[in-house]
Amino acid sequence: MANIKAVFSKLKFFWLAVFFLWIKTYVLYKVGFRIHTESLLQEFLLFFNPLSSAVFLLGLSLFFRDRLRNIMLILASLLATFVLYFNLVYYRFFSDFLTWPVFYQTSNVQDLQGSVFELMNGTDVFLFVDIVILAVVLFKKKIPTVNLKKREAGIVLATAVMIFTFNLGIAQVERPQLLTRSFDRELLVKNIGMFNYHFYDAYIQSQSNAQRAFADSSDIIEVKHYVDANYKEPDPEKFGIATGKNVIVLSLESLQSFVINETIEGEEITPFLNKLIDESYYFDNFYHQTAQGKTSDSEFLVDNSLFGRGSGAVFFTHAGNEYNALPEILNEEGYFTSVMHANNKSFWNRDMMYQSLGYNQFFDIDYYDVTEENSVGWGLKDIDFFEQSIDLLKSQPEPYYSKFITLTNHFPFELGEEDRMINEYTSDSGTLNRYFPTVRYMDKAVEIFFERMKEEGLYEDSIFILYGDHYGISENHNRAMSMFLGKDEITPFDTIQLQRVPMIIHVPGLTEPETIHTVSGQIDLKPTIMHLLGIDSKNDIQFGSDLFSPERESFVVLRDGSFVTDDYVFTKGICYDKETGTDVEQSYCEPYFEKVEMDLDYSDKVLYGDLFRFYGENKQDAETVEGVTS
């Protein structure tokens, strides 16, 4: 014991660095990430959890000798600070923490530069104050070097492990089966700490990578049993109503439902979409289900009726998988399939992923005339994009399935004065203020697109699917959002409700438009589109169901394990009454827990195991698998 005390007493400079990193991490939890706790035990865990990783990470420097040891200690502190800072910048927009698969997305960095700078703040320099203090103490005060044996350094690391074991034990009491909820990253950070979460995430990613190697054909049979049991028959009156028609899918960047039928200073934010809704099928309880892959996640959900990854982006991590995607199915039905998006083909790894999904053609930036005059923010303005896309659309053989991905309404929501049709909002959030003019511009662009479709004689022979791809306003702007919505605060319940995005199915000549209130999500679009085109999806592996099916359950699962029904919202471990927004006994939400877990687990099993490779080499005979499972 005396020897252990001696080890600790002669490492004063080390413990000063540990103290700085520990307290800095906790303050960042509260101020930067705004992590909320609901009990003294949760607050204790939040305060205590940075200690073990601080001791461990900085303790690695103790294996160096003499003066180099203290220099490495400062460098380790600097590295840890950068980890905190990168998470902070990422969190400011995505309201999420970094994961290892995000680093696969390095090809996106150049296009993201403007957004990253927007997320930086002058006060961020305070994160590095302790590093400066440590450097001054080391070089001005002449910290004496001490003799330290490797065994003594090992004692420090062992201490870190004991602290973490104690931390984890309490966390497991507070939240049983904590480590099974790898998709709930805030829960993990809150309980085991930022750095320990990153270590655990690395372990989870290695496990998921191993799943493909150990998967076999029996796995897809198990999944097929599950999806067959949950299949919903289509509405016979709507099945095939669009047979042979062209399908136009508009992925509307960052469009959330809270702007629909709302005004700024008396001016409608989305006048055209408001009018289109009155002439269409409109789903007002439709949720995006994306995670860190954002727009690419929404594409994956729509094309596959599978969930994206809980971390990173499928478009990067699993572009080489086999899929039974909507474009490939439509190819077999005689459709020409394409994507139109005036961005670099490698962004989100689309050039590779679209091949795996079966698209015939990707009209990327090289097919558009993009100049400084017709661009803003992320690239070609939406009005120019749609105008230039008309000729590309006409060049395709019919019938076709074409997806358009807009750009202008993208964070940080930049727009020239000449393109503003409504004024900015006035709040303490520049991001929210700028959001409304760019939404209005996008609405006008869609209106012009519809007008051009009519002028070119393309409108009557098409159906139109329009949906918001993901949220545009993150939780970082909750105070301004509460002001716009006239609320005292934005609760976790409100946050889930703000994940609703517009979803419109417009069929020219529709005589009975309808607003449909079924709770639904992007995962439901694939079977819905197939059934509208008269294509049976019963033999398909899908986790959504036809939005028009009279058998469908009004229910949606979000990627983080939250879910919504007609009556309840469950998120962050709390069950809310949907009508009042107040928390209720968890027993009201418990009947749905098993389905949520199985939907996410089986979908992940298909993805990580690359199970469609067992679905027939060319996926031409789904009934073979059906026969095996029956």
DSSP 8-class letter at 539: T
Give me 546's structure tokens. Answer: 């036809």
Query: Would the pLDDT of 374 be above 50?
Result: yes
User: How much is the pLDDT for 622?
Assistant: 41
Please state, in angstroms and as integers, the Cα–Cα distance from residue 77 to each residue in 109, 139, 142, 430, 551, following that order. 25, 16, 19, 33, 57
83-87 — which CB contacts under 8 Å span 24+ positions?
83/194, 83/195, 83/198, 84/24, 84/25, 84/28, 84/127, 84/194, 85/124, 85/127, 87/33, 87/194
Give me 398's structure tokens. Answer: 């019919």
- Cα gap 568→566, rounded to integer Å: 6
User: How much is the pLDDT for 529?
Assistant: 98
Query: Would the pLDDT of 447 be above 70?
Result: yes
Q: Is 323 left (phi over 0), alpha (psi -120 to 50) or beta?
A: beta
Task: Judge whether 93 and 411 are in contact, CB under 8 Å.
Answer: yes
The larger pLDDT score, comparing residue 125 to residue 507, is at: 507
Q: Average pLDDT, whole number, for the chain?
A: 89
User: How much is the pLDDT for 5?
Assistant: 61
Query: Would the pLDDT of 142 be above 70?
Result: no
Q: Peptide bond preceding 437: is omega within 30 degrees of 0, i.e. cis?
A: no
- Mean pLDDT, rounded, for 608-619: 76
Work out whether strand 267-268 and strand 503-506 pair parallel, antiparallel, or are unpaired.
unpaired
| Torsion angle in degrees (nearest 10) through CA of 152, 158, 159, 164 | 160
Query: Would the pLDDT of 223 be above 80?
Result: yes
- Cα gap 374→125, rounded to integer Å: 37
Residue keyed to tokens 């572009």: 319
Give me 182's structure tokens. Answer: 């790898």
Band of pLDDT at residue 618, cut at 50, 70 and 90 = very low
User: pLDDT tens digits, residue range 528-565?
Assistant: 999 999 999 999 999 999 999 999 999 999 999 999 99
Task: Judge whether 413 and 474 are in contact, CB under 8 Å.
Answer: no
- Cα gap 550→432, rounded to integer Å: 38
Query: Would the pLDDT of 579 be above 80?
Result: yes
User: pLDDT tens digits, residue range 600-612?
Assistant: 999 999 999 999 9
Give me 543's structure tokens. Answer: 């986790």
* Extended beta strands in 477-551, E state: 503-506, 514-516, 520-521
DSSP 277-333: HTTSEEETTEE----TTHHHHHHHHHHHSS---SSS-HHHHSTTS----HHHHHHHT
Catalytic residue (choose from 99, 159, 290, 295): 295
- Cα gap 385→378, rounded to integer Å: 12
Cβ partners under 8 Å of residue 201, min gap 6? 99, 100, 182, 185, 311
User: How much is the pLDDT for 139?
Assistant: 81
- Cα gap 27→25, rounded to integer Å: 6
- Cα gap 83→419, rounded to integer Å: 39
The domains of the chain, with CATH numbers, are 2-210 (no CATH), 230-544 (3.40.720.10)
- Cα gap 27→35, rounded to integer Å: 10
Band of pLDDT at residue 630, cut at 50, 70 and 90 = very low
Band of pLDDT at residue 105, cut at 50, 70 and 90 = low
- Cα gap 447→336, rounded to integer Å: 25
Nearest to 349 by CA among 618, 102, 11, 66: 102
Task: Judge whether 141 and 373 are in contact, CB under 8 Å.
Answer: no
User: pLDDT tens digits, residue range 466-499?
Assistant: 999 999 999 989 999 999 999 999 999 999 999 9
Question: Any alpha helices (H) in 175-254, and if so which ranges?
Answer: 185-192, 194-214, 217-229
- Cα gap 575→585, rounded to integer Å: 7
Task: Judge whether 95 and 111 are in contact, CB under 8 Å.
Answer: no
Q: Indicate if 99 belongs to the active site.
A: no
Quote the distance between the C-alpha of residue 449 and its chain's center: 28
Question: Any alpha helices (H) in 340-429, and if so which ranges?
Answer: 350-357, 382-394
Element (H, E) at 376: strand 375-376
- Cα gap 63→244, rounded to integer Å: 70
User: pLDDT tens digits, residue range 14-70?
Assistant: 999 999 999 999 999 999 888 888 789 989 999 999 999 999 999 999 998 877 888
Name the least confident of 35-39, 74-78, 203-207, 444-448. 203-207
